[in-house]
Each structure stands twice: as C-alpha cells, then as structure tokens.
Amino acid sequence: MSEKKTHFIQNIINEDLAAGKYPDGVHTRFPPEPNGYLHIGHAKSICLNFGLAIENDGKCNLRYDDTNPTKEDTEYVDSIEEDIKWLGFSWDDRKFYASDYFEKLYEYAVILIKKGLAYVDDLSAEEIRQYRGTLTEPGKESPYRNRSVEENLDLFSRMRAGEFKDGEKVLRAKIDMASPNIVMRDTVIYRIAHAHHHRTGDAWRIYPMYDFAHPLSDAIENITHSVCTLEFEEHRPFYDWLLDSLDFDANARPKQIEFARLNLTNTVTSKRKLRQLVEENYVAGWDDPRMPTLSGLRRRGYTPAAIRNFCDEIGVAKSNSVVNIAMLEHFLRDDLNERADRIMAVLKPLKVTLTNYPEDKTEYLPADNHPTRGGKRYLPFSREIYIERDDFMEDAPKKFFRLKPGGEVRLKHAYIIRCDEVVKDENGNITELKCSVDMESKSGCPNANRKIKGTIHWVEKNSAIPSEVRLYDYLLTTDENGNISGDFIASLNKNSLETVNALIEPSVKYTAPGTHYQFLRMGYFVVDKDSTPQKLIFNRSVGLKDSWAKVKDK
C-alpha cells in the first residue's frame, strides 16, 4: 500500500491537504445501517473508506447508522464487525453509533428552531408529499410553516415527551419550498416513532432522519471526507446547509463526496432483496454460498485478498455501471491458485477395474501438493479405482482425448491404462470399465514418458472418502448483457445448487472447515463450515476456466 492510488477522491484529498485543510489528517468512516448483512457492494465501500485512511495515514471510524429503530438488530451489528475484520480492516477503538448522539442531535435541532430554521409541521405524510411539488413544479408552503419559535420549541419538546402519535407531527428544516432541488424543500428532520430501539430502548419517541443525523454524526466525529454512493448527490446541498446553519467552520467541517455503487451481474446487491431471499427461503440463510453477502462469499470460499484485489481493480467511478461477476471470480482464482493444494476428487464416479493389476496389492504413489510450493503426499493405488463419468465416452469423436473403448489415457500421478471392456446393466447404463494397466508407465519406469494425449484424475476405491460436494452456480440468470428481466425472483436460477456424492482421496480425511483445495481439473473447493471428519462437505468456490480473461481481451 505504498503507492498512492490516483482516483478522483484521492485527488480531492491531495488538494485539501495541499491547501492546509484538515491539519489533523484524513478521517473517513464506514457507516452501515445494522439492518442486514454486508454484501460485496459494502466491501467496496469498506475497502475505499478504510483504504483512504491507510493510504493517507489517517483514520477510519466504524459508525452504525442506527436511526431507524424498527429494522435494526444486534445480530446484524455482530455480523458487520466480523465481516469488516475478516476483510482485514480495523476501526481500532473508534466504534460509534449514531444513536449515541441522539441527545446532541436533539440539541442541534433545538438550535435550528431557535434560529428560525426549523418548524413543527402537522401535515400528514401524504399531505407533505402533495405539498412538495415535482421536478417541474415548485412546492407549496405548509400552513404550519410560520409558527413562532416558542410554539415550535414547545411542540418539539412535547414530541420528544411522547405526547403525540406516530405521524401526527414532524420537525422540518425551513429552507425553500421553491428550490429546484426537492431535498431542499423543507426536508423532514425528525419523526415520531413509538418504537423500541436496539440500543436506546424506549428512551426516545422521536428519531432523527438520515439526512439530519448523518452530516451531524460526521461533524461530531471530525470526519474530513464523507464518502457515500451517488444516490446521495442531491442530498449534498442539504448536508452543507445543515452544517453551515449550525456554524461548523466551512474549512474544517466534513465534505460529502459521492462515488458509484458497485453492481454485479447475476446477483443482487440490495439488502432489501437479499432479505427477501432469506425470509422467503429461496436460499438457506444470509451465509448461503450463493449469496453476495460477505458471509456467503466467505462460505463459498472467497478470500479477503480476492475481494480486496477486486475492489482495487474496479476503482472508484463517478457513474453507475454493472461489473461482470466473472471479474470477481478471476480474482478469486488468482488468489486460490497460490493458496490451494491440489488434490483429486471424483464428482460423478465411474468404477474402473484394472484387470492385470495384482488383486492384493496396494501401492503408494507420490503426488505433488502444489506446482510451486511443493510438498508431497502418497496416494494409495490398487486394482479398483473410480474415474469421472464424463472422462469416458463410448462413441467418442476423434478429438476426445480422454478414455474411450480401446483407447489409452494417463491416470494423473499413476499409470497409463487402456479400456478393454464396457460393462452395462440391463438398461444399457454403463456401470463399470475393465481396463488394463501398462505396468511400466508409472514415474521412474521405462514407459513413464510414453506420449499419451489425455491425463485424467481418479481415486482408489478402498481409501476414497465419500463426501458431499455442493456445486454452486449463479443466483440469477441474466441475458447476455447481464440484465435481469423484470422481477428478480422470476430470474432466480433454478439450477444454482447441485449436490453430488463425490469420492475424494484420503488425504482430506481430517481437513478443517475453511480449507481451500483445487480438485484437479474440476475447480476450487472449500471445506464447508458444517463439515466434520464423519461427513465431509465441500463447496465449489469457482471453476477453473477464467471467462474474465476472455471478456477482458475482447
């Protein structure tokens, strides 16, 4: 992280620092609302905010934006912290909650009222909407807009005391109902909600709105650069108006900077939609390996480095776009290539009997664990083995270089075999192959280097471990441009999970959850969190074929 990245936010920071602003250094924050699990889009924001702090020798706070009592929960708080730490970032001792500022925020609201810059409005939500006007028509002033400061102070304190019902009154900023920016048309800053809050309990009957709480939380924490996503661009004038109105020094107070949200093909990055998938049981939970949540990606076998590298590579944009999920997969493959030991697993087994191999013999053949890191293990080999069903074809085309009747193939780390006979059941299904072994073809023997076009993987029958392997595919199907047609539920990929009973070489017997492997020729897999030595479970993280390289070079 030595070289400073150049993107427009870093440029703004460079200018600010060069101008002598912010003598205490760069201070950012990551502000999740604890109403769901973090997803890959949040990872982008985390990498950006914590990354800016690291690159500029500054600080980044974790701040829960918990102003919406009815949707929030401590379950989410815990998962958010686990995910940020897992990604490799630290907020040190700077964990804050907007709800910690409720008293201060209330005082700021009182100051606004005293300055004649806020008023209590009795209009209903529906009426407020009608009065607001449209993009082409100015709004209309509320009949309650010109209440006296005293009346406003009295009503606001009674709102706090719980004298009114939900929706009966709100506190609004008094700005300009004719502003071309609708956010500036007397934005609502407090609402009544007789609701229990996950931290403040029943202490409050009024809650600040995001537009009010967020800039002030930033200012209270001495944030310098408040980075958020593009949908808040129209809210920036209010952000500035509020801090100006409350006399925060224009040279020292935080500034809001917007960047484009990360969207990915073949999935959704909206907490609302992700919650729907969980609540309506389309997936097995927030950490289902098909989910783009950080806990789902982790269970799928994603590594923090893969996600960080991906976020770095996509950069910081000013206009929204959809990133091809193949690019995320590319970075996973890149990282797992280094990290994962190579082993052999047969996902859809076909039995092979080696007719000329001695019946009572088992030998142990050396096999490299990793092409560059080295390490060895010994694979049992005997008369009965399994190969991948797809690696045999009865009526094979000319270019099929795996096993076919009369044809030869090399068994990885072992011998060359030839298929002599195909055994079928009464329905014509292939149940077994009878093959003969070239006993002189293993490593160190005269035929070790005999040229054979195809090499396939295998496992030995007696030692292979029956395991559950979950083959995941994309959550959503999209058209060739990555677009989802209509309702996303209708686009759910019906084949996003296929579970197979695989046979895996015995070296994995005591493997621990979270261990990464490359199953030779089959892809990268990770040991699931529910896996035990009694019942091994593997999740496919990603296949071996890098379709991103292809897309990129187009």
Positions annotated as catalytic residues are 33, 261, 271
491 binds ligand ATP (CB under 6 A): no
174 binds ligand ATP (CB under 6 A): no
> Which CB, 65 or 505, lies closer to ligand ATP?
65
Q: Residue 153 class from Cβ within 10 Å (0-12 exposed, 13-18 middle, 19+ buried)? A: middle
Q: Give the integer Cα–Cα distance in Å for 75 and 233.
A: 31
The interface region with ligand ATP, picked from 89-97, 268-276, 367-375, 496-504 by CB under 6 A, is 268-276
Q: At its nearest, how many Å lie between ligand ATP and the CB of residue 250? A: 23
Token pair, residue 51, equals 């990354």
Q: At its nearest, how many Å lie between ligand ATP and the CB of residue 261? A: 4
> Which CB, 4 or 273, lies closer to ligand ATP?
273
Q: Give the integer Cα–Cα distance in Å for 359 and 357.
A: 6
Q: Give the integer Cα–Cα distance in Å for 384 and 358.
A: 10
Q: At its nearest, how many Å lie between ligand ATP and the CB of residue 39? A: 6
Q: At its nearest, how many Å lie between ligand ATP and the CB of residue 45? A: 4
The interface region with ligand ATP, picked from 246-254, 265-273, 411-419, 493-501 by CB under 6 A, is 265-273
> Which CB, 45 or 518, lies closer to ligand ATP?
45
- Produce one character per residue of 408-420: b if its CB has 16 or more CB atoms within 10 Å, e if not: bbbbbbbbbbbbe
C-alpha atoms less than 13 angstroms from C-alpha of 314 in its C-beta half-sphere: 32
Token pair, residue 176, equals 């300009």
Helix (H) or strand (E) run with residue 217 in it:
helix 210-220
CB-nearest residue to ligand ATP = 41
262 binds ligand ATP (CB under 6 A): yes
**E strand segments, 128-246:** 170-173, 188-192, 206-208, 225-229
Contact 166, 37 (CB under 8 A): no
- If you write DSSP's letter for every residue of 459-500 in order, what string do you get? EETTTPEEEEEEEE--SB---TTSPPPS-GGGGB-TTSEEEE
Q: At its nearest, how many Å lie between ligand ATP and the CB of residue 264? A: 9
> Helix or strand or coil: residue 218?
helix
Q: How far is CA 529 from the centre of its chain?
A: 18
User: With the C-alpha atoms ordered 294, 295, 301, 303, is the resulting torsion angle positive or negative?
Assistant: positive
Among 60, 77, 173, 228, binds ligand ATP (CB under 6 A): 228
Residue 415's closest CA among 390, 378, 452, 375? 452
> Which CB, 67 or 507, lies closer to ligand ATP?
67
Q: Residue 227 class from Cβ within 10 Å (0-12 exposed, 13-18 middle, 19+ buried)? A: buried
Residue 255 backbone phi and psi in degrees, to 5: -125, 140
Token pair, residue 372, equals 């560059």
Q: At its nearest, how many Å lie between ligand ATP and the CB of residue 269? A: 4
> Which CB, 51 or 407, lies closer to ligand ATP?
51
Residue 521's closest CA among 410, 419, 434? 410
Q: Residue 193 class from Cβ within 10 Å (0-12 exposed, 13-18 middle, 19+ buried)? A: middle
> Which CB, 31 or 301, lies closer to ligand ATP?
31
Token pair, residue 293, equals 């949540």
- If you write DSSP's letter for every residue of 346-407 in order, what string do you get? ESSEEEEEETTS-TT--EEEEEES-TTT--EEEEEE-SEEEEEGGGB-TT--TT--SB-TT-
From residue 93 to residue 122, the character string flagging contacts with ligand ATP as x (rule: CB under 6 A) and all else as - is: ------------------------------
> Which CB, 256 or 539, lies closer to ligand ATP?
256
Between the alpha carbon of residue 155 and those of residues 165, 170, 186, 201, 363, the distances in Å are 13, 10, 18, 23, 87
Among 269, 507, 531, 541, binds ligand ATP (CB under 6 A): 269
Q: At its nearest, how many Å lie between ligand ATP and the CB of residue 313? A: 15
> Which CB, 400 or 488, lies closer to ligand ATP?
488
Among 261, 298, 330, 404, binds ligand ATP (CB under 6 A): 261
Q: At its nearest, how many Å lie between ligand ATP and the CB of residue 72? A: 10
Q: At its nearest, how many Å lie between ligand ATP and the CB of residue 251? A: 24
Q: At its nearest, how many Å lie between ligand ATP and the CB of residue 33? A: 4
Q: Enumerate residues 23-42 that contact ligand ATP by CB under 6 A.
A: 31-33, 41-42
> Helix or strand or coil: residue 326?
helix
Length of the chain counted residue by residue: 554
From residue 38 to residue 77, the character string flagging contacts with ligand ATP as x (rule: CB under 6 A) and all else as - is: ---xx-xx-------------------x------------
> Which CB, 44 or 169, lies closer to ligand ATP?
44
DSSP percent split of the chain into helix, strand, coil, nearest 5: 30, 25, 45
Total residues interacting with ligand ATP, rule: CB under 6 A? 16
Among 181, 200, 229, 547, binds ligand ATP (CB under 6 A): 229
The interface region with ligand ATP, picked from 148-156, 270-278, 443-451, 544-552 by CB under 6 A, is 270-278
- The residue ranges that bind ligand ATP (CB under 6 A) are 31-33, 41-42, 44-45, 65, 228-229, 261-262, 269-272
